[in-house]
Amino acid sequence: MQDHAIAHVPPNSTALRELARAIETALTLPAPATTRDELTYLRISRDRMRLVREALNRLLRDRETGDEEVMVLVAWLRDHVAQLCDDQYDHRPDPS
């Protein structure tokens, strides 16, 4: 696994829980406001899904992955997802 950053497991968490949180964040996007915004929304969703799959494939290839390597993967995923932010399209108003 490529060394991205030295990341530590936060207190009261686990490396796998942090990975699950990173995946949940990556796959959660606000709904597009209009049909015009839907294409951008779908592209960002697709690209984020590819990042999640790449992260999981890296994890599955290495049977000896420990917490430190998982946290490096979490940092990698979070950094790459941040580059695919949801400010590129208008969001549907929150129903609350």
- The predicted-structure confidence for 26-43, as pLDDT tens digits, reads as follows 999 999 999 999 999 999
CA distance 69 to 85: 25
- Model pTM? 0.84
* Mean pLDDT, rounded, of the chain: 90
CA distance 64 to 40: 38
More confident residue, 82 or 4: 82
As a whole number, mean pLDDT of residues 64-77 equals 94
Residue 92's pLDDT band (cuts 50, 70, 90):
confident
